[in-house]
Each structure stands twice: as structure tokens, then as C-alpha cells.
Amino acid sequence: MAHILVTGCAGFIGFHLSQALLERGNQVTGIDNLNDYYDVGLKRDRLSQLDIQKSFQFRLLDVADQKAMASLFEQESFDYVIHLAAQAGVRYSLVNPHAYVTSNLVGFMNVLEGCRHSDVRHLLYASSSSVYGSNTVQPFSTRDPVSHPLSLYAATKMANEAMAHSYSHLFGIPTTGLRFFTVYGPWGRPDMAMFKFARAINSGQPLQLFNAGQMERDFTYVGDAVQSVVRLMEAIPTGNPDWSGNSPDPSSSTAPFRVHNVGTHQPVRLLDLISLMEELLGREADRELLPMQPGDVRSTIAETEDLEAVIGPIQTTTIRDGVSAFLDWYRSYDRAEEI
């Protein structure tokens, strides 16, 4: 039974990943600081689903706390580390930039140091599709350079990939970066589009559409994203013997380092998503058309060939089935309209 550390276990993806690992028979230690970036009650409700399972232990811990993280790695022996804890959100980085440095940079350094000084087989960590920044060639490929972030959040995720590579090179730690593309589903974050749209349509409030809704996203159902991560966990990277510094491939290295897109390669227009949600909810949205927000990108489409080359065909839930599952949960969750 592998012992796995999941940071950010009370977060959206961390909660679903922890559940999937427990269902596989793994022992999971989850840590989270339960910060108030969004409703703490939602995080506690997710956590309550995990706490009832014998193979799960939770620790209230901030990854940015150097001493606490060092103590955790000294006390426990982890086979795998899946680092999902981070200060999320593109727009919030315009308001509270220091939170991103503390959580996403200092926190990740503490995770890297913990792995360096223990016998961890594989470190997987959350990156983001936002690292593609001002790239316009679609679909986004991990083989493309990423050097022009459009938000501080994206810049911290780019830095995480660079930090991971340095530790893979210097200390031989196998690392895999997970560039998530707009993950959605039950127990989702209230600051993300799916939750915001459902709440606005259901309550008859104005639905704010930036760039007049002329946006396209590679929506990825959370169950599909989690399955990709679980399968990547045991696909431990090794150095790429064909890698060349004359034409460097950003997705691999001579070190045990890889980066993968975690998406569907099936983009959806926001206006089409809203129409689908209107149909499923039986109500029309009051649409408020707004200009483009700083830090946003108009379109994201994931190239997934490299991912499939490693783990085989990816699981892909249709947008209709995924939105239906999300709305079923939303209508059953008694606090959905409050947060």
C-alpha cells in the first residue's frame, strides 16, 4: 500500500484526487491550511467526506511553514507526493500578489526540500494552462516555449516548473508538472465560471461575461483530470536520451523531468456553455457583457498527444454529461446559493 502525500487536500482537485487514491487502496496523508480565499465551509464539507476513511489522515498545515513541512517529512515516509496546494485565481493576483509568492513559491520550495531529504519516488505538482500566456498558436503544446505570462499567478506556475527542473537535475528527483486546463465538476470552486454561472442563472442575477463571452476554454471534467494524475503517478519520468540543448524540448530534459497538459483537446465556447446550462436549469440567463479582464486569455486548447503517449488514451467526459453532473451536485448541496 503506497503512502501518498496530497497537499491542498481540501481543495477541489485535491479532494477528488484523495478520494480516488483511497479507493485504490492507498494510504493518504492530506494537508491543507483551510485559508479563506473562498468559503472555508465548502472546504470543510469536502474534508468531512475524507475524514471518515481509515486510510486517510489530515493535518492542518501550511506548505509555506518551513519548520512544519520539514517536520512532516521527518515524521512520515511518503512514496509519492502530489502537490496541489497553491494560491489560485488569476484575477485575485491583481489584488493580493504577495499571497502568490508565499504559497506558490515559498510553499513549493518547502515541498521540494522535503522530497530532496526523503526517499520519494515521484513528485507531481500542479502547474496551469495559464503558463502559455500570450502564446496564440493552438492547441497549446508542452513542446512550445512559455516565457510571456499574463498574470502573476501564471508567472509563479512557470517558476514552479523551473524550480522542479533544477531539483530534478541537481538531486535526481523525478518530477512531473501538471498543466491543468479549466477543471470543473461536483464540489467545484465558487470563484470559477461553472459555479458562478449556475448561481447567477439559478438566482436570476446578472451573469458577467468578460470579453462579451467571446472566450473558449478546454473544460476538463474533474474525474478525467484525476484519472490522468493517478496514471501519471506511476509513470515515473527518466531522462530523455534524445534531448538536445541545441533544440531544447521544454517538456522534458536529460534530468528525470516531465511536463504534461491535463486537458481534453475539446474546447467549448463560453456562450455555448451558458446555453447548455440554461437548457439544463430551465432558465434563461441575464447576460451582462463586459470587456476583457487583465490577465485573461481568449482561448485555451490542450494538445494531449504527449500525455497519451505516456498513459494511453485519456478518459474524456462530454461537456453535457460533465455539466449535468455538476448541476446535480449543485442542486443537492444545501449551501450552494450561500457561497
Residues designated catalytic: 153
List the grid coordinates of 25: 487502496
Q: Which DSSP helix (H) or strand (E) runs through 316?
A: none
Buried b (16+ CB within 10 A) or exposed e, 115-135: beeeebebbbbbbbbbbbbeb
332, HSE (Cβ side, Cα atoms, 13 Å): 8
The sign of the dihedral angle between the CA atoms of 97, 102, 103, 108 is positive
Query: How many whole angstroms separate alpha carbon 200 and alpha carbon 39?
Result: 17
Residue 217, φ and ψ in degrees, nearest 5: -130, 145
**Cα Rg of the chain (Å, integer):** 19
Residue 336, φ and ψ in degrees, nearest 5: -60, -40
* Residues in a beta bridge with 155: none
Query: How many whole angstroms separate alpha carbon 109 and alpha carbon 114?
Result: 9
Of 28, 38, 37, nearest in space to 7 by CA = 28
Query: Is the CB of residue 153 less than 8 Å from the CB of residue 293?
Result: no
Query: How many whole angstroms separate alpha carbon 38 and alpha carbon 41?
Result: 9
Taking residue 23's Cβ as centre, other Cβ atoms within 10 Å add up to: 11
DSSP 258-313: EEEEES-S--EEHHHHHHHHHHHHT---EEEEEPPPTT--SB--B--HHHHHHH-S
Give all strands of the β-sheet with 122-128 in edge-to-edge order: 56-60, 27-32, 3-7, 80-83, 122-128, 175-180, 257-262
